[in-house]
Amino acid sequence: MTIGFRDFSWTPAHARRPTLARIDLRIAAGERVLVVGPSGSGKSTLLHAVAGALGTTILGEATGSVDAVGRLGMVTQNPSSSVVADRIGRDVAFGPENLGLPRKEIWRRVDAALEAVDLRYGHDHLTSALSGGERHRLALAGALALEPELLLLDEPTSMLDAGLGDDVRRAVLDVVGDRTLVVVEHRFERWLDVVDRVVALDGGRIVFDGSVGEFRVASVPEALWMPGRPAPDPTVIPAELVTPVEPARIVARGMAVDQVTRTLRGTVRTRAVADLTVTLDPATITALVGPSGAGKSSALLALAGLLDPVAGSVEPPPDVGWSPQDPEIGFVATSVRREIEATPQALGREVDTEALLEAVGLAGRGDEHPYRLSGGEQRRLALAAAVAHRPGLLAMDEPTVGQDRDTWALVAGWMVSAARAGTTVVAATHDPDVPRHRELRLSHGRAVR
Amino acid sequence: MTGVATQVNPLALLAVGLAGTLGSLGVDTLPEALALATCWLVVVALASPSWRHPAFCLALVALPVVSVAWSTWMLGGRDPQTTALAAVRIFVLAWPGAVAVGYVDVARLGDYLAQTLRVPARFAAALSAALQRVGGTWRAWHDIARARRARGLRRGPGAMAFAVLVHTMREASRTSIAMDARGFAAARRRTWAEPASWTRVDVGAVLLAAVLAVTPHVM
């Protein structure tokens, strides 16, 4: 046995309900296990328990026991948090250094890991200049370089398009070989062919544990992205919540954007977007697509007037609804209700807070602290807070990453309903199911037709 | 303005910074103090990549310089000579150190602490990782300011500092989990991917530091 949970429960500090309840689970050496479940069901907590982070780094109360045997490598959900060095070579080397390997072997493993995740920059490339998807791959390379006996992955391919996701999955399996793998993923269809066993969680409890064959025909929570289930119908949002106060047309001409890393030792500029000319009209949805590192987020920021172009021009909208990749970045208040009311208050606009809470599925949760919500709930709150003032432009950065079907339907529904009501909607996304009227494909920062 | 300061290894830079402090303690007369201050101005001018950081450090040390000068003036019989000596001495004590520390490559600091000074490896690696996250704080400030700008909210320094602090603390606990998950918790005997080498520039910097630290004491 490699992993053993015995009647394990975990209640985080300040939480009322346990996030894991009475878990009994044994995973044998060499097993490949997929863990699935709706947002907030306890998947990440399960991995944290195996990694020994509960009760040490993360505060709370545990009962029962959990054991893990063997050298462990883990990739956590937020890739920015796993970066420990300023350059990608040294970042990947961190694990092998901890293992006390000789220098030659360290660099052999660094090169092999970077190649496996297809990060083809030099060792000295700055980690701060990587895109969200590239950071995901860097974190994965950092774990692969350990050549772990037990590999734990929290949504390793959620930020990647299908092709790159397949490559990364193959790389993971190559490294894992006959060792143990536990992987958490929302869009898990492609993992089903390569794992031995599936564990489904709901509300902190195991609701399914069995083979892939059994899982395919099991009755599992509606929110799971089961293979064959089409993308859910976008939720319809009442027009009075999404009709823009002032419609916006965005015109960019020959726009260039740089990613800048400034230190006292000097400034490093990386061209993220070059020579982009585009018009975004009201009542349309534009999807910015392209491989990870293509400049989607930078282009989105510049179009929203939140990042100044270094060349060309863009006419920013009078007001914008901005939904960042990391929802926590935008939180400003100590309660869900005040979070939603902050922007309308600042701009002197009316907002029907209760209707918004209801629309994003947070009715009755107005007094909770934004940080204590689950990942999916935070995404929905961030959306409500970003659009409460009914802006003319709605700009979203990977709005559906790591979301279950319920949250997905809400995010997609907001885009469709807002566009129908006259909002200009633009989203950087690699999710092919996200609704759109047209696509703007970027490659190496340039628009390709 | 050669930028050679950015090529000097972290320990040599710290030695240079310390030299200012040690040297200032040996200064007894105003001409000596002015000569030493001039030497440091020349060294910083030659070695820095630009004036931005040295000028910023000057603004930082201006407060202690002015306050020491003021109290010396009031308590030291309003003697311009004594006041000037005190002010220049504080300048030499603080400014070169502040400038030098700013150019330290924190990513390489761990390498040198562990391999040259034999500081315990886990401490060196943790310190280096923590200092590198300071750069992440600058980024977090930008991201948070941008999100607030988009939401039409005020970006007062107090509210921003608090938001960045909260964000940094939450990030730190996630990073700590990520580090432990990459073998840091169990690392007993740690190795280093890069050697802590000493080039001629590094040795030259340490020699220069020694001269500037010792000369005021023997004059």
- Domain co-membership, A272 together with A406: yes
**Amino acid sitting at position A31:** E
Of A73, A90, A330, Cβ closest to residue B107:
A90
Q: Is the pLDDT of residue B136 over 80?
A: no
pLDDT of residue A415: 96
DSSP secondary structure string for all residues of B69-126: HHHHHHHTTT-HHHHHHHHHHHHHHHHHHHHHHHT--HHHHHHHHHHTS---HHHHHH
Asked whether residue B192 is assigned to any structural domain, the reply reads no
Of A143, A262, A304, Cβ closest to residue B150:
A304
Instruction: Note whether A82 contacts B: Cβ–Cβ < 8 A.
Output: yes
pLDDT of residue A346: 92
- Which residues in A lie closer than 8 A to residue B103 (C-beta atoms)? 264-265
Contacts of A35 (CB under 8 A, 6+ apart): A43, A46, A47, A182, A183, A184, A198, A199, A200, A201
**Amino acid sitting at position A91:** D
Asked whether residue B188 is assigned to any structural domain, the reply reads no
User: For A389-445, what is each residue's pLDDT tens digit?
Assistant: 999 999 999 999 888 899 999 999 999 999 999 999 999 999 999 999 999 999 988
Contacts of A359 (CB under 8 A, 6+ apart): A237, A238, A241, A384, A410
| Pairwise CA distance, residues A293 & A119, whole Å | 10
Restricting to B residues 103-122, those with a Cβ less than 8 Å away from any Cβ of A are 103, 105-107
Supply φ then ψ for residue A278, to 5 degrees. -160, 150
The number of residues making up chain B comes to 219
Tokens of residue B115, six digits: 């391999």
pLDDT of residue B118: 92
**B54: three-class secondary structure by DSSP:** helix
- Which residues in B lie closer than 8 A to residue A143 (C-beta atoms)? 181-182
Asked whether residue A228 is assigned to any structural domain, the reply reads no
Asked whether residue A304 is assigned to any structural domain, the reply reads yes
User: For A413-426, what is each residue's pLDDT tens digit?
Assistant: 999 999 999 999 99
> What is the average per-residue pLDDT within A161-178?
84
pLDDT of residue B18: 93
Q: How distant is the Cα of A199 from the closest Cα of chain B, in angstroms?
A: 22
Of A73, A74, A86, Cβ closest to residue B135:
A86
| Pairwise CA distance, residues A151 & A72, whole Å | 6
| Pairwise CA distance, residues A80 & B217, whole Å | 50
With 0-12 / 13-18 / 19 or more C-beta atoms within 10 angstroms meaning exposed / middle / buried, residue A429 is buried
Q: Is the pLDDT of residue B130 over 90?
A: no
- Which residues in B lie closer than 8 A to residue A95 (C-beta atoms)? 182-183
| Pairwise CA distance, residues A334 & A325, whole Å | 20
With 0-12 / 13-18 / 19 or more C-beta atoms within 10 angstroms meaning exposed / middle / buried, residue A410 is buried
Instruction: Note whether B195 contacts A: Cβ–Cβ < 8 A.
Output: yes
Asked whether residue B130 is assigned to any structural domain, the reply reads yes
Of A103, A324, A343, Cβ closest to residue B193:
A103
* Vertex A371 angle, CA B130 and A240, to 5°: 135
Asked whether residue B194 is assigned to any structural domain, the reply reads no
Instruction: Note whether B124 contacts A: Cβ–Cβ < 8 A.
Output: no
- Domain co-membership, A67 together with A185: yes
Task: Find the helix packing angle between B121-150 and B157-180, rounded to 10°.
Answer: 140
- Domain co-membership, B96 together with B156: no
Bridge partners for A8 per DSSP: A23
| Pairwise CA distance, residues A172 & A311, whole Å | 41
pLDDT of residue A359: 93
- Per-residue pLDDT band for A268 (boundaries 50, 70, 90) equals confident
Asked whether residue B191 is assigned to any structural domain, the reply reads no
User: Domain range spanning residue A431?
Assistant: 239-448
Tokens of residue A446, six digits: 């340039």
pLDDT of residue A265: 65
User: For B145-159, what is each residue's pLDDT tens digit?
Assistant: 999 999 988 888 888
- Which residues in A lie closer than 8 A to residue B3 (C-beta atoms)? 266
Q: Choosing among A83, A98, A124, A347, which should be mutated to test the B contact, i.e. which has the most B CBs within 10 A? A: A98
**Reported ipTM:** 0.84
- Per-residue pLDDT band for A132 (boundaries 50, 70, 90) equals confident
- Per-residue pLDDT band for A113 (boundaries 50, 70, 90) equals very high
Restricting to B residues 52-111, those with a Cβ less than 8 Å away from any Cβ of A are 53, 102-103, 105-107
| Pairwise CA distance, residues B178 & A76, whole Å | 7
> What is the average per-residue pLDDT within B107-136?
88
- CA dihedral B170→B171→B174→B176, nearest 10 degrees, is -110
Q: What is the CATH number of the domain that holds A441?
A: 3.40.50.300
Q: Is the pLDDT of residue A196 over 70?
A: yes
- Which residues in A lie closer than 8 A to residue B177 (C-beta atoms)? 48, 51, 53, 57-58, 74, 76, 81
- Which residues in A lie closer than 8 A to residue B187 (C-beta atoms)? 97-100
pLDDT of residue A264: 65
Judged by CB atoms closer than 8 Å, whether chains meet at B177 and A57 is answered as yes
User: For A275-321, what is each residue's pLDDT tens digit?
Assistant: 999 999 999 999 999 988 889 999 999 999 999 999 999 988 889 99
Of B107, B153, B181, Cβ closest to residue A343:
B153
Asked whether residue B99 is assigned to any structural domain, the reply reads yes
Tokens of residue A131, six digits: 């895109």
Q: Is the pLDDT of residue A48 over 60?
A: yes
- Which residues in A lie closer than 8 A to residue B181 (C-beta atoms)? 51, 53, 72-76, 143, 152
- Domain co-membership, B125 together with B209: no
pLDDT of residue A289: 94
- Domain co-membership, A135 together with A42: yes
Judged by CB atoms closer than 8 Å, whether chains meet at A139 and B178 is answered as yes
Contact (CB, 8 A) for B153 and A332: yes
- Domain co-membership, B8 together with B97: yes
Task: Give the residue from B40, B37, B47, B20 showing the smallest Cα distance to B103.
Answer: B47
| Pairwise CA distance, residues A379 & B110, whole Å | 38
Judged by CB atoms closer than 8 Å, whether chains meet at A346 and B192 is answered as no
pTM here is 0.84
> What is the average per-residue pLDDT within A63-77?
89
- Which residues in A lie closer than 8 A to residue B53 (C-beta atoms)? 264
> What is the average per-residue pLDDT within A86-93?
94
Judged by CB atoms closer than 8 Å, whether chains meet at B191 and A319 is answered as no
> What is the average per-residue pLDDT within B69-82?
86
Asked whether residue B113 is assigned to any structural domain, the reply reads no
User: For B22-67, what is each residue's pLDDT tens digit?
Assistant: 999 988 889 999 999 999 999 999 999 888 889 999 998 999 899 9
Of A100, A110, A152, Cβ closest to residue B189:
A100
- Domain co-membership, A304 together with A380: yes
Task: Give the residue from B132, B64, B68, B72 showing the smallest Cα distance to B98.
Answer: B64
Total tally of structural domains belonging to chain A? 2
Chain A to chain B Cβ contacts (< 8 Å): 173
Last residue within a domain, chosen from A187, A217, A247: A217
**Amino acid sitting at position A28:** A
Instruction: Note whether B185 contacts A: Cβ–Cβ < 8 A.
Output: yes
> What is the average per-residue pLDDT within A86-109?
95
| DSSP assignment letter at A79 | G
Would you report the helix, strand and coil content of chain B in percent, each value rounded to 5? 75, 0, 25
Judged by CB atoms closer than 8 Å, whether chains meet at B151 and A332 is answered as yes
Could you tell me what percent of chain A has a pLDDT over 90?
A: 65
| Pairwise CA distance, residues A202 & A376, whole Å | 14
Chain A: residue nearest B167 by CA? A329
| Pairwise CA distance, residues B214 & A74, whole Å | 51
Restricting to A residues 181-210, those with a Cβ less than 8 Å away from any Cβ of B are none
Could you tell me what percent of chain A has a pLDDT over 70?
A: 99
- Per-residue pLDDT band for A1 (boundaries 50, 70, 90) equals low
Where is average pLDDT lowest: A36-50, A73-87, A216-230, B102-116?
A: A73-87
Pairing of strands A32-36, A20-27: unpaired
Total tally of structural domains belonging to chain B? 2
Q: What is the mean pLDDT of chain A?
A: 91
| Pairwise CA distance, residues A128 & B67, whole Å | 40
> What is the average per-residue pLDDT within A71-84?
84
Asked whether residue B114 is assigned to any structural domain, the reply reads no
- Domain co-membership, A66 together with A213: yes
| Pairwise CA distance, residues A448 & B117, whole Å | 53
- Which residues in B lie closer than 8 A to residue A385 (C-beta atoms)? 151
pLDDT of residue B170: 85
| Pairwise CA distance, residues A92 & A291, whole Å | 22
What are A220-226's contacts with CB under 8 Å, separation 24+? A220/A36, A221/A37, A221/A38, A221/A41, A222/A405, A222/A406, A223/A38, A223/A39, A223/A404, A223/A405, A223/A406, A224/A36, A224/A37, A224/A38, A224/A200, A224/A404, A224/A405, A225/A186, A225/A187, A225/A188, A225/A189, A225/A404, A225/A405
- Domain co-membership, A339 together with A192: no
| Pairwise CA distance, residues B105 & B91, whole Å | 24
User: Domain range spanning residue B41?
Assistant: 4-106+199-218
Task: Give the residue from A360, A15, A28, A19 showing the smallest Cα distance to A179.
Answer: A28
- Per-residue pLDDT band for A259 (boundaries 50, 70, 90) equals confident
Supply φ then ψ for residue B147, to 5 degrees. -65, -40
